[in-house]
Structure 1
């Protein structure tokens, strides 16, 4: 089961690299990872920076599940 999880994360990482590479090609209409993060970070509801809170929560979840052992 461990090897299936490792293979799944490896496939996800490879897909991420391929999409990022495709986004950086000349004339591409695919947004880069940085563009997507910038768009999410700008999202606000009134004075509350909902996008920043969501991104912080996402990184907290990643850290809790993968790095807090």
Structure 2
């Protein structure tokens, strides 16, 4: 395994851990941090002129995620 691949994997792991820590902090009683579900709901409500831009953004995000982790 090359050094750059190791750094990329470490970066993704650190990002995942940071996301988990923020979600954990958001679910504590009395927290003012929105949960990931609240943020996704807010994004999915966003539309411009009847075009569901937020839903398209979520769809493109899932496509990007699947393409990078499942395509080989």
Q: Which structure 1 residue ranges, 4+ long, deviate > 3 Å from structure 2?
A: none
Where 1:56 maps in the other structure, the secondary structure is helix
Among 57, 64, 70, which residue is 1:67 paired with? 70
Structure 2 residue 56 is matched with structure 1 residue 53: yes
Task: Describe the superposition over 1:12-44 as per-residue Cα deviations: whole angstroms up to 9, x where unpaired.
Answer: 111011000000001111000000000000001
TM-score if structure 2 supplies the norm length? 0.89
How far, CA to CA, are the matches of 2:29 and 2:46 in structure 1?
A: 28
How far, CA to CA, are the matches of 2:16 and 2:64 in structure 1?
A: 18
Structure 2 residue 27 is matched with structure 1 residue 24: yes
Listed as ranges, the gaps of 5+ residues in structure 1 are none
1:67 deviates by 1.0
TM-score if structure 1 supplies the norm length? 0.93
